[in-house]
Amino acid sequence: MRSSRLGGLLLLLGIVSMTSCDESSEITPPATPPGYPLAYVMQDCAPWDGPALAIVLTSQPLDSLETVRPLLRLMIYPRGESMPGHTYRWPAQPEMAAASRCTSADSCEAATAGQVTLTVVRPDSLVEGRLALRFANGEKIMGGFRAAWLRRRAMCG
């Protein structure tokens, strides 16, 4: 009798734990890089006038890219591949992605190497991913982001 009660209790706990796990729930991205808790994404243009995705991480709500500092700016140049699950690396894959950080309007520097992985891309709401950047002085910036879309028309070409 006791073993059947225990078996029933374990079965009930299993059912409750399965029903409490929503299959549509998302995995939380890694913590944001220190100093950059907010993220935004927008359409942009690649240096050769092709389509690009700009992801901006900052410490303040974004009204204008001209006024918010400090910021990290990631540029991704997709070439027709599916973006979710894709990792962009440079300098190993030149002309696929780039990043820079600006501490003031007159002080910006490009990352010498980096990696950006896009885990979720929803054109109507958000882009999530992870980044790892290295700068000339050896400093590294790593973390995750959950970027809200900013509607902006990019006229490339």
Parallel, antiparallel, or unpaired for β 38-45 and 71-76?
Answer: unpaired
Q: Does 97 map to a domain?
A: yes
Res 143: pLDDT: 96
The residue whose two tokens read 């950059």 is: 36
pTM: 0.77
Res 65: pLDDT: 59
Q: Does 72 map to a domain?
A: yes
CA dist., res. 123 & res. 136, Å (int): 33
Structural domain range at position 50: 26-149
- List the one residue out of 42, 19, 3, 47 whose CA is nearest residue 149: 42
Which residues lie closer than 8 Å to 44 by C-beta, 6 or more apart? 51, 52, 53, 54, 75, 152, 154
Res 67: pLDDT: 67
Domain count, the chain: 1
Q: Does 9 map to a domain?
A: no
Q: Does 6 map to a domain?
A: no
Which residues lie closer than 8 Å to 19 by C-beta, 6 or more apart? none
Res 28: pLDDT: 58
> pLDDT tens digits for the chain (157 residues)?
444 443 333 333 333 333 333 333 455 557 999 999 999 999 999 988 888 999 999 988 876 656 678 899 999 998 776 788 899 999 988 789 999 999 887 889 999 999 999 999 998 889 999 999 999 999 999 999 999 998 877 788 7
